[in-house]
Amino acid sequence: MAKKQLRVGMIGYGFMGRAHSNAYKQVGQFFPSQHEVVLKAACARDAEKIKAFANQWGYESTETDWRKLIERKDIDVVDICTPNNMHKEIAIAAAAAGKAILCEKPLAMNVPEGREMVAAVEKAGVPNMVWYNYRRIPAVTLAKKLIDEGRLGRIFHYRAKFLQDWTIKSDLPQGGQGLWRLDVAAAGSGVSGDLLAHCIDTSLWLNGRLDSVCAMTETFVKERMHNLTGKVEKVGIDDACTFMGRYENGSLANFESTRYARGHKALYTFEINGEDMSLFWDLHDLHRLQIFDYKVEGKLRGWSSIHVTDNGGDHPYMQNWWVPGLAIGYDSSFTHQVADFIQGLESGKPQGPTFRDALETQCVLDAILDSAKSQKWVDVPKG
Amino acid sequence: MAKKQLRVGMIGYGFMGRAHSNAYKQVGQFFPSQHEVVLKAACARDAEKIKAFANQWGYESTETDWRKLIERKDIDVVDICTPNNMHKEIAIAAAAAGKAILCEKPLAMNVPEGREMVAAVEKAGVPNMVWYNYRRIPAVTLAKKLIDEGRLGRIFHYRAKFLQDWTIKSDLPQGGQGLWRLDVAAAGSGVSGDLLAHCIDTSLWLNGRLDSVCAMTETFVKERMHNLTGKVEKVGIDDACTFMGRYENGSLANFESTRYARGHKALYTFEINGEDMSLFWDLHDLHRLQIFDYKVEGKLRGWSSIHVTDNGGDHPYMQNWWVPGLAIGYDSSFTHQVADFIQGLESGKPQGPTFRDALETQCVLDAILDSAKSQKWVDVPKG
Amino acid sequence: MAKKQLRVGMIGYGFMGRAHSNAYKQVGQFFPSQHEVVLKAACARDAEKIKAFANQWGYESTETDWRKLIERKDIDVVDICTPNNMHKEIAIAAAAAGKAILCEKPLAMNVPEGREMVAAVEKAGVPNMVWYNYRRIPAVTLAKKLIDEGRLGRIFHYRAKFLQDWTIKSDLPQGGQGLWRLDVAAAGSGVSGDLLAHCIDTSLWLNGRLDSVCAMTETFVKERMHNLTGKVEKVGIDDACTFMGRYENGSLANFESTRYARGHKALYTFEINGEDMSLFWDLHDLHRLQIFDYKVEGKLRGWSSIHVTDNGGDHPYMQNWWVPGLAIGYDSSFTHQVADFIQGLESGKPQGPTFRDALETQCVLDAILDSAKSQKWVDVPKG
Amino acid sequence: MAKKQLRVGMIGYGFMGRAHSNAYKQVGQFFPSQHEVVLKAACARDAEKIKAFANQWGYESTETDWRKLIERKDIDVVDICTPNNMHKEIAIAAAAAGKAILCEKPLAMNVPEGREMVAAVEKAGVPNMVWYNYRRIPAVTLAKKLIDEGRLGRIFHYRAKFLQDWTIKSDLPQGGQGLWRLDVAAAGSGVSGDLLAHCIDTSLWLNGRLDSVCAMTETFVKERMHNLTGKVEKVGIDDACTFMGRYENGSLANFESTRYARGHKALYTFEINGEDMSLFWDLHDLHRLQIFDYKVEGKLRGWSSIHVTDNGGDHPYMQNWWVPGLAIGYDSSFTHQVADFIQGLESGKPQGPTFRDALETQCVLDAILDSAKSQKWVDVPKG
């Protein structure tokens, strides 16, 4: 039986361009379906660089103008891996062209942009998804499963952190290739849009709507050389952001993100405390889920570290990989996302996070930045 | 050479009465000095119970009226282990009687009370100390030493939590013996005064003054049977409290405490992120200090777990205990505090936390509760 | 009701003399019984040193000749804390004098000595116990409880290690105060009698008789200055010892001990793998027991770390200490041993390890050293 | 510049067939070189199954007779993923046909077979390598680097374990697809050839030659249904194997492997204790290397957990993957092996483990089994 082609047009070739491309290439071997992913075209302004990228990853062709890519008849899916300030324009154009869209996170620079993008894809009726990939780390997916099974009982607390340390050096420039995340014009915000966005997406998925937040931000290094202008300029992004909040279900939120936590490379952790069970996960040991099950007999109760690598059917996604005890990496989360995206196409049940889901995260992000500025509690707007 | 007697009058006989008594009995063997601690008298309203306690712990006599205890000529030190609402009256009377005072934490019900107490001991010129015992867990003292040596560089973040889970059961009563911590009239507050107070004391000691805070509190179980009245009554304490803040040194604070974190018995943790070094400590493994030292060669950098049990002189207090690898318990922190209190007497250099130090913690506590009520940022008052 | 006195005569004043004395002083407060322990006399050849020790710990009198101590009518219990080569003579004399005996481990220099000692105490009918204190770390006692409840099913493997690193320095002398453990004449053996003895005692208690063993020993530093002779002499002890073995119950043994494992201060660990449950314990975090319970639902199975500090009745000994989450130290194991010794006296049911129990450990030790010498498998003799 | 093709002929399609195929597909994107790997043909006796496998993984053609595959002119490399009892015949034929060979481990059923294979590839002068993939987990490679830099000083101990629990069920059959590892006719041995072989390979690489060993084996389940004969038959493999040994460099070996350690899925760990540094690694958290560095200042010494994910050049292989903190999986070790194999081809410096290297491991394996049978110490033969 011939497979149906899913022809990808990739815009961008950085870290995420590589991560997604690896997923497209792996998905057919580990998660076979009725679709065959074809790397049709890669696009970036720099003709030489995008050609090198296309050669290395096996894209059949290149473009230097994303509008051309979108117009191509032989592209089914547009993958947006550009800096954040380009998401909206490309996504709206791609939707108008009837393409399915896979967009990097955060969805947009702000809520108004996000609303336009949601309207565009929903009007066009095109499949759409945002790359909040951590939902599909098997240990995180297992957490979702346990919550959906009602094992936690009433939730009291949700705590998340995303700590890094790579921008402590004050001579690191802002802006330009690889460093656009430090440039407010390209990124829209700092750690909030880059790191907290992941924490918020997971949290909304696991624990439901956040009603209100109160935030604090700080920019520790106030000025940096700007790579594009060649001048020392004021830094516009948040280096650190902490916020408290209240969920619709009555539980309390405590979130923090920073790039100034010496010793932490990408320490995304979350902990949920329920009446009957607590859960903890840590990106640095992404293959483990820690649980405390109050229903265990008293003297045996403890925090249990589940090595989420069983291929016997119980651990999400793992039946498609190796044997128990053999961990898969960060990159597999993208492979899982492509597998689920395809499954959504085939089943007609779109898999999240859709643009609409990601807009909810954007609403929290905007509320946080509002709160940090006004120094007041802020109600999270509805998407 | 005959030792000088230090005759203790203990008020209270609960958990803390036992912990302090053990320290008084142990200190002479492990930290010999020119003083000999004598357990002179124990005091509580219930004559039978205090007699049993005195017998078990070797107190020479008992009293049922604390005023009588304070009047006794054969008492040098008054140890206040009562519920919080009695601290002020007893301390002021003891100071007036010229007694040295060791008072349980938190110092007082609120800042005005605390100010009166500080004034009283300073006017009377009596030695005074508050039982914030965690400063003297060897791993915590080592953290202080590393900070004082300037090893952390600029501090960016201070994070502390104190998580418990023992009040999740809604049929747990409030008030009365052993449960006065749930009764706002006796305790003044909930987790903030009970647990966060410890976190704040350590933090002020390690990281200096907190300038401003913004807090959120919650009472998850709104009504409980009151043991003293026999009626179901509104719960007045905070079950959970989270706050953000800014330190004078420019670093950011993120603190949280709750008694609703299923799976955590007494999880007091703190983490400090400095430019050159980060530190982490956890009461559940109190004999360890985790450090990340950025000055270590790149490829070897990691979080290092120091088993703070060396008796070779480098690990605080440990030269007086056993041999490397053999952990001491929670109780030893009280023994260390008594040893240091005596050293303060002998050297004429009072060891903290004094009442004045503890008043600073009280100021933060009041600011937190103000902020939680007003839902605004609050400047921390000066002691 | 007046308590019955239990008058202790302590022989020795080193590390163990201090650890036992602390236990004698603490036991009445934490484990009250019908007996009151009285520190009657301390004995050592050096009059000045033993006086200082007696003063510090509150012994009422001193002796410089252990025979005198044993003759005293006002001594009920003799505690032998001398180097190993003195155990036999003292114990036999103390038994003849009708004293109860608490003897440091290992019981003797070898099996023949041990047999004489067992014969002596059994003939005299005196209470006797050996200070294999690790049985009474609450987490270890909990392990015993789980095994006795039949939770492990068929046992396949028992693995134990005791790793230290304090003798790596080749300029450390052998012999003399504090270093007699390196002198074969005083200690009888090296790590086998000092460290493996603990592992073996625990193992026989938890997993039953060892039938046969095959061992390897090594002395890494062949010559050391001898503190007593002032000359560089051949080192007679084993620096490291590894052995394999077979238990009567069909399970396999893997034991190792060394003082050359850089980075380990006193890493005594054991792991037991049963069909239904596995257990792991580590002296460096002595308040935790790790279990893997196969009866837990598949997707939730993991290694669970039990913080053995609950005072609700479920965790051995802990109801007598503090509140959940607050760890006790290494020293508490001695307090528990004294408490159980007294309970044995009061109930008429002697608590182990008795001399007879400790003789079984001695049999394994001798078999190990035989095997290491002959390079053959050796059957463990019966006590 | 056109790349040179490296045309692979894969024999087998099981777990390892998949792992290697994934590596062949990934290597060009993550470790670009002058070679392009082409999946030319896959071979197995079952025509339907091998066709499905080839389709899923993108092999251009299939064969059902491995001799035909070897004869094909369009194959450069033969990858042997069959059960162990087929390795020799295929390898010798492939060498004779001038093919490069990548052979699964263990090299052979025994030393005589291994010697024939080494002779064959060396006579033919064909590139050859054995899939002891754990050498190329970045944390393990980092360990090698630290040892080669002389950081450990004199080595005292090497300890390794490989613990699993998947064969505890006595109703698991032996033999046949997926279970040939339990059939002595196909596998040659049990855990020794399957699991200890990995531990030995790593150890010889890190710590040099093992001179002598003394081993113990056990078969816990004595009879199992045989899938090929349909009868209950005696189990010929070792379920567990423990051995002690002495290295040429004077250090001591303690190795153990079992499939009856409840709770361990694939717990391959090793620890090396050197005078100046100790190292520990654990396959369950394969992205971490734990080190204890004695050269660190006294009070700061501890076991440090290095998250081996830095892409700044210091952590082996990681500059080709993602950013710090993002772990790669087990599968990446195969990708690294292919990358190094190609580098060996291009540089003319063959990368190990070659057949000759793997023969040394085979010599230890044979010595272990001899020792377990004879119950004596056995000198390890030379390759």
With the C-alpha atoms ordered A176, A181, A186, A190, is the resulting torsion angle positive or negative? Answer: negative
Contact between D332 and A327 using a beta-carbon 8 Å cutoff? no
From C32, C56, C330, residue closest to B29, measured CB to CB: C56
Give the confidence band of C313 by pLDDT, cuts at 50, 70, 90: confident
CB of B314 less than 8 A from some CB of D = yes
**Min distance A16 CA to chain B CA atoms (Å):** 25
- C-chain residues near B322 (CB < 8 A): 15, 19, 330-331
Give the confidence band of D142 by pLDDT, cuts at 50, 70, 90: very high
Is the pLDDT score of C374 beyond 90? yes
Burial (Cβ within 10 Å: 0-12, 13-18, ≥19) of residue B89: middle
* Res A1: pLDDT: 61
* Res C124: pLDDT: 98
The encoded tokens of residue B112 equal 């005005």
**Min distance B315 CA to chain D CA atoms (Å):** 6
The Cα–Cα gap between D338 and C332 comes to 56
The encoded tokens of residue B278 equal 């980060």
Query: How does DSSP classify residue D53?
Result: H
Is the pLDDT score of A178 beyond 80? no
- D-chain residues near B301 (CB < 8 A): 304, 306
Helix (H) or strand (E) holding D243: strand D240-247
Is the pLDDT score of B266 beyond 80? yes
Contact between A261 and B273 using a beta-carbon 8 Å cutoff? yes
Cβ-proximal residues to B374 (8 Å cutoff; 6+ apart), any chain: none
* Res D1: pLDDT: 61
- D-chain residues near B312 (CB < 8 A): 298
* Res C62: pLDDT: 98
Whole-structure pTM value: 0.97
> pLDDT digits over B199-244, tens only?
999 999 999 999 999 999 999 999 999 988 999 999 999 999 999 9
The Cα–Cα gap between D56 and A382 comes to 44
What average pLDDT does range C305-310 have in this prediction?
A: 97
The residue written with tokens 């087998």 in the block is D12
> What residue type is assigned to position C172 of the chain?
L
- D-chain residues near A166 (CB < 8 A): 324
Beta strands in A136-228 (DSSP E): 155-163, 210-218, 223-225
Q: Count of B–D CB contacts within 8 Å?
A: 56
CB of D133 less than 8 A from some CB of A = no
From B159, B243, B274, residue closest to A262, measured CB to CB: B274
Is the pLDDT score of C46 beyond 70? yes
Measure CA of the first residue to CA of the last residue in chain D; give whole Å: 42
What average pLDDT does range D136-155 have in this prediction?
A: 98
Contact between C291 and A302 using a beta-carbon 8 Å cutoff? yes
* Res A119: pLDDT: 98
With the C-alpha atoms ordered D24, D28, D31, D36, is the resulting torsion angle positive or negative? Answer: positive
Is the pLDDT score of D337 beyond 90? yes
The stretches of chain D forming alpha helices (DSSP H) are 15-30, 47-57, 66-71, 87-96, 111-124, 138-148, 184-187, 191, 197-207, 332-347, 355-374
What average pLDDT does range A9-13 have in this prediction?
A: 97
Query: How does DSSP classify residue D226?
Result: B
**Interface test mutation site (partner A, options D195, D331, D334, max chain A beta carbons within 10 A):** D331
CB of B296 less than 8 A from some CB of D = yes
From C301, C304, C314, residue closest to A302, measured CB to CB: C304
Distance of CA B125 to the CA centre of its chain: 22
The Cα–Cα gap between A21 and A57 comes to 7
> pLDDT digits over B4-30, tens only?
999 999 999 999 999 999 999 999 999
- Nearest C-alpha in B relative to C162: B325
The Cα–Cα gap between A34 and A14 comes to 29
Cis peptide before C350, with omega less than 30 degrees from 0? no
Question: Exposure string (b/e) for B287-326, b if CB count within 10 Å is 16 or more?
Answer: bbbbbbbbebeebbbbbbbbbbbbbeebbbbbebbbbbbb
Relative to beta strand C288-293, strand D4-11 is unpaired
Domains of chain B: 4-133 (3.40.50.720), 135-379 (3.30.360.10)
CB of D296 less than 8 A from some CB of B = yes
Give the confidence band of D176 by pLDDT, cuts at 50, 70, 90: confident
> What residue type is assigned to position D145 of the chain?
K
- D-chain residues near B304 (CB < 8 A): 296, 300-305
Cβ-proximal residues to D52 (8 Å cutoff; 6+ apart), any chain: none
Give the confidence band of C199 by pLDDT, cuts at 50, 70, 90: very high
- C-chain residues near B56 (CB < 8 A): 28-29, 32
Q: How many residues does chain B have?
A: 383
From C21, C265, C325, residue closest to B307, measured CB to CB: C265
Contact between B242 and A246 using a beta-carbon 8 Å cutoff? no
The Cα–Cα gap between A357 and D244 comes to 58
Q: Count of A–C CB contacts within 8 Å?
A: 55
Find the Cα–Cα–Cα–Cα dihedral C233, C237, C239, C243, rounded to 10°.
150
* Res C1: pLDDT: 61
What average pLDDT does range B83-106 have in this prediction?
A: 98
- D-chain residues near A19 (CB < 8 A): 322
What does pLDDT average to over chain A?
97
B neighbours by CB contacts (3+ pairs under 8 Å): A, C, D
Helix (H, G, I), strand (E, B) or coil at C51: helix
**Min distance C166 CA to chain B CA atoms (Å):** 9
CB of A283 less than 8 A from some CB of D = yes
Contact between D156 and C262 using a beta-carbon 8 Å cutoff? yes
The encoded tokens of residue A267 equal 């320490």
The closest of D162, C266, D309, C277 to A304, measured between CA atoms, is C277
From B252, B294, B377, residue closest to A375, measured CB to CB: B377
The Cα–Cα gap between D305 and A282 comes to 15
The Cα–Cα gap between C99 and C90 comes to 11
What average pLDDT does range D124-151 have in this prediction?
A: 98
> pLDDT digits over D43-102, tens only?
999 999 999 999 999 999 999 999 999 999 999 999 999 999 999 999 999 999 999 999
* Res A2: pLDDT: 83
CB neighbourhood size of A55 (10 A): 14
Find the Cα–Cα–Cα–Cα dihedral D80, D84, D88, D91, rounded to 10°.
10
Contact between B322 and C19 using a beta-carbon 8 Å cutoff? yes
The closest of B17, B180, B182, B189 to B109, measured between CA atoms, is B189
The Cα–Cα gap between A171 and A161 comes to 26
Is the pLDDT score of C177 beyond 80? no
- Nearest C-alpha in C relative to B26: C22
**Min distance C6 CA to chain A CA atoms (Å):** 34
Task: Write the DSSP assignment of A284-317 as a string of letters.
Answer: GGTTEEEEEETTS-GGG--EEEEE---TTTTSTT
From C299, C307, C314, residue closest to A315, measured CB to CB: C299
Query: How does DSSP classify residue B382?
Result: P
What average pLDDT does range A153-164 have in this prediction?
A: 98
* Res C175: pLDDT: 87
Share of chain D above pLDDT 70, in %: 100
Share of chain B above pLDDT 70, in %: 100
Residue D289: phi and psi, rounded to 5, are -125, 130
CB of C19 less than 8 A from some CB of B = yes
CB A251, CB A199: distance < 8 Å: no
**Min distance B151 CA to chain C CA atoms (Å):** 23
**Interface test mutation site (partner D, options C252, C275, C282, C374, max chain D beta carbons within 10 A):** C252
Contact between A300 and C312 using a beta-carbon 8 Å cutoff? no
From A32, A310, A330, residue closest to D322, measured CB to CB: A330
The Cα–Cα gap between B246 and B211 comes to 6
> pLDDT digits over A208-238, tens only?
999 999 999 999 999 999 988 999 999 999 9
Distance set, CA B237 to CA B86, B185, B191, B364 (Å): 18, 9, 8, 17
Distance of CA B180 to the CA centre of its chain: 17
Contact between A164 and D325 using a beta-carbon 8 Å cutoff? yes
Helix (H, G, I), strand (E, B) or coil at A230: coil
Is the pLDDT score of D312 beyond 90? no
The Cα–Cα gap between D167 and B170 comes to 46
CB B139, CB D300: distance < 8 Å: no
Q: Taking CA D270 as the corner, what is the angle to CA D268 and CA D274, rounded to the nearest 5 degrees?
A: 175
What does pLDDT average to over chain D?
97
From C261, C273, C278, residue closest to D157, measured CB to CB: C261
Helix (H, G, I), strand (E, B) or coil at C233: strand
The stretches of B5-62 forming alpha helices (DSSP H) are 15-30, 47-57
Give the confidence band of B1 by pLDDT, cuts at 50, 70, 90: low
CB of A2 less than 8 A from some CB of C = no
The encoded tokens of residue D138 equal 């970045």
What does pLDDT average to over chain B?
97
The encoded tokens of residue A296 equal 């265990």
CB of A298 less than 8 A from some CB of C = yes
Task: Write the DSSP assignment of C250-272 as a string of letters.
Answer: S-EEEEEEES--TT-SSEEEEEE
The closest of B358, B359, B361, B379 to B370, measured between CA atoms, is B379
D neighbours by CB contacts (3+ pairs under 8 Å): A, B, C
CB B279, CB B290: distance < 8 Å: yes
Helix (H, G, I), strand (E, B) or coil at D7: strand
CB within 8 Å of chain C, chain B residues 85-124 = none
> What residue type is assigned to position B343 of the chain?
Q
Find the Cα–Cα–Cα–Cα dihedral D153, D154, D156, D157, rounded to 10°.
50
